[in-house]
Structure 1
Amino acid sequence: LVPPWPTLAWKDIVEYSFLGKFDLLQHSCTDIHDHDWTTPAHCEATMKYFKLQYACEEIQHLNVEVHRLHTAIHNEEVKTVATICWLLEIDHMLALELKCRYQVHAAVNAIVGNTTRRELESSLLKLGQMCYA
C-alpha cells in the first residue's frame, strides 16, 4: 500500500475500546491516519472531556440526593421519637427497648447527616465550580 500502513501490534489492538474503531478503518475510502483525531493523544483527550461532562451531570444528581438523604434522616428521627413518646404511655418496656435500639441508629444517622451537610456539600460545590467555570 502507498503510503504503507502502520504495523498493527497486539498492544494497539488491546487498547481499542470497541469494534467500531476497526470498522472506521476498514470502510474509509481515504487514509485517515493523518488526521489529528486519530492520534492516541487526541482520542484520550476526547474521552476525558466526555468523562468530565458526565461527572458534572452526576454532581447535579448528587446535589439532589444529598438533600433527599438529609430529609429522610430528619423525618425518620421525628417519627421514631414520636413513636417512643407514644409507647412510653402505653408500654414502657417496649418504649425502652425501641429507644435502646434507636440510639445506635441515631448515632450513625448523626455521622451521615453531618458528613452529608458539611463535607459532601462542600466537595460537590467545589467540583461544581470546576465544571461550570
Structure 2
Amino acid sequence: MTPPHLEYYQASPFTALLGLLNKPRNVTPRSRGFFMGKENQVTDDLRIRFSTAARQIPHITGESVHVSAIHRWATRGLAGVKLRTEYAGGHKRTTMRWIRQFFAEVTAAKTGEPVRADTKSSSQSRQEKARKELEAAGI
C-alpha cells in the first residue's frame, strides 16, 4: 500500500518505475551556501552581483528589493547618493558594506543629519571592542 503523502505522485504506474519519486536534486555549491557566511549571509567585503545583493538586503531591511532597484541606485542614485560599485568578471558588483553605507548616506541626505562615521556591522564593532579589552588586560 502506498503511503498517503506519496499517492499524488503515483498517478500512473510508470512514475515509480521511472524512479521519479526518488530522483536526487541537483545541488551545486552555490545553492548550498558555498559563498555564504554564517546564517546564509554574504561576508561584508566580498564583491557580489546585484542579484545576490537583492537576496541579502532583506537581512538588513526586513523587506525584499528587486534587482532593478539596485541597478537604479548604482546608476541614478537615491536622494543624490549613488551606490558604490565595481566591475569584476564582466558584471557590476557591490558589497554589503557599501550597501549599508549607501543606506546611511541616503538616510542622512533625507533627514539632513550628518553621516555617521561608524558604518561597520555590530559584530565587527563588538570584535574590535573585545580585542581592545584583551590587549588592555595583557592577554
Q: TM-score, normalised by structure 1?
A: 0.21
**Structure 1 or 2: more helix by fraction:** 1
Q: TM-score, normalised by structure 2?
A: 0.21
**Structure 1 or 2: more strand by fraction:** 2
